[in-house]
Amino acid sequence: MRGRKTVVLLWVMLLLAVFLTGGCKRDEREDGLVSVGESDIPADEDAQYTDSAGDGAEKRSGQKTSDGMPADEEAAGEAAVIYVDVCGQVKKPGVYELAGESRVYEAIEKAGGMTKEAEGASVNQAERLTDGQQIYVPSKDEQEEVRGNAAVPASKNEAAAAGGRVNLNSASKEELMTLSGIGEVKADAVIRYREEHGGFQSVEDIKKIEGIKDGVFNKIKDQITI
């Protein structure tokens, strides 16, 4: 009888030991702390610890540049495209797509470059482009006309506007340059033509001069005579 009680007592002690040993292996201790490596942190802060690691990754992905713009938005801005119209004395006039922040010279290159008649010095090729901009490359003759018209005294322009007609067969170079659209180059061509052909037979003959077509003629037909 005593031996049976001893065996029962031993089994009770063994079960109690197993129960106590299993309870001590819990990650969350009864004092409310959780083991993390060699450090203990409160159990209710365990989730916050995990979340903070995730927040760090999110913060890094949303970093801002020194100017305050989000990094992903800045990258998108650099990749933006613009459309510009290139016309005038270029080999392939048209509308072209370029990367944002491009310069005028890049647009001209896209259009095949300038023609031999182009006056490239009048174009600021270092200018930064904007979306929808038009780049016009003038010809050398156009620039000559602009310079010639700028050099004509105001009094002569006023005289022409007042009704005085310019005689194509006798006018001096300066008088010819008072006509709208006639610069130094075309004035020399008019004088050379009348010397080679014995003069103009009609005012329409001026259209035989290179560079003087219907557009220019319509501007000056009421200002000239023979």
CA-CA distance, 143 to 124, in Å (whole number)?
15
- Residue 112 CB neighbour total at 10 angstroms: 13
Contact (CB, 8 A) for 167 and 225: yes
Is 210 contained in some domain? yes
Residues 123 and 159 occupy one common structural domain: no
Q: Which pLDDT tens digit goes with each residue over 59-72?
A: 444 555 545 555 55
Q: Which pLDDT tens digit goes with each residue over 83-122?
A: 999 999 999 999 999 998 899 999 999 999 999 999 888 8
pLDDT interval class at 2 (50, 70, 90): low
- Helical segments of 69-183, H only: 71-78, 104-110, 140-151, 154-161, 173-176
Q: Give this prediction's pTM.
A: 0.37
Residues 203 and 169 occupy one common structural domain: yes
If one compares 55 and 197, the residue with the highest pLDDT of the two is 197
Among residues 118, 138, 158, the one where a domain terminates is 138
CA-CA distance, 75 to 206, in Å (whole number)?
58
Residues 172 and 218 occupy one common structural domain: yes
Domain extent, residue 93, equals 78-138
How far is CA 55 from each of CA 49, 51, 63, 186, rounded to the nearest angstrom?
A: 10, 6, 12, 75
CATH number of the domain at 90, please. 3.10.20
Q: What is the pLDDT, as a whole number, of residue 108? A: 95
Give the pLDDT mean for 3-9: 70
**3-state SS assignment for residue 146:** helix
Domain count across the chain: 2
How far is CA 13 from each of CA 8, 16, 22, 118, 151, rounded to the nearest angstrom?
A: 9, 5, 14, 107, 120
Lowest mean pLDDT among 18-22, 178-182, 221-225: 18-22
CATH number of the domain at 172, please. 1.10.150.320
Is 147 contained in some domain? yes
Residues 179 and 221 occupy one common structural domain: yes
Q: Which pLDDT tens digit goes with each residue over 159-214?
A: 444 457 888 888 888 888 888 888 888 888 899 888 888 888 888 888 888 888 88
How far is CA 128 from each of CA 99, 120, 189, rounded to the nearest angstrom?
A: 11, 17, 38
Residues 168 and 190 occupy one common structural domain: yes
Contact (CB, 8 A) for 87 and 70: no
